[in-house]
């Protein structure tokens, strides 16, 4: 076993051995671990519109891409 594997095993044991099958949680885990600080994620969550509230986007291409990503992660249709 490599030193990196040993470190990962030790860290997993210390932090709690967490597993799940939730695709959204897996996506958010990778995003938060590698790219976006947890504080930024929390800030964005607080800015989310209320359930059912309409959102008007300024960039239709980006909005369509994000809807597609949401559909693929959740395996559902995104309502417009």
3-state secondary structure of 22: coil
How many helices and strands, by DSSP H and E, does the chain display? 4, 0
Percent of the chain's residues with pLDDT above 90: 66
Range of the domain at 33: 21-80
Q: Does residue 15 carry a pLDDT above 70?
A: yes
77 falls within a domain? yes
> Number of folded domains in the chain?
1
Residue 80's pLDDT band (boundaries 50, 70, 90)? low
d(CA 57, CA 63): 7
Angstrom distance (rounded) from CA 26 to CA 7: 21
Instruction: Note whether residue 34 is domain-resident.
Output: yes
Give the mean pLDDT of 12-31. 90
Position 7 in a domain: no
Residue 6 lies in a domain: no
Would 59 be classed as within a structural domain? Answer: yes
């Amino acid at each position: 076993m490599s030193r990196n594997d040993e470190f990962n095993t030790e860290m997993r044991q210390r932090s709690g051995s967490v597993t799940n099958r939730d695709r959204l949680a897996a996506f958010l885990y990778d995003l938060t671990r590698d790219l976006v600080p947890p504080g930024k994620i929390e800030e964005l969550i607080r800015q989310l519109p209320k359930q059912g509230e309409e959102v008007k986007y300024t960039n239709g291409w980006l909005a369509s891409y994000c809807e597609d990503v949401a559909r693929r992660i959740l395996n559902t249709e995104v309502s417009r």
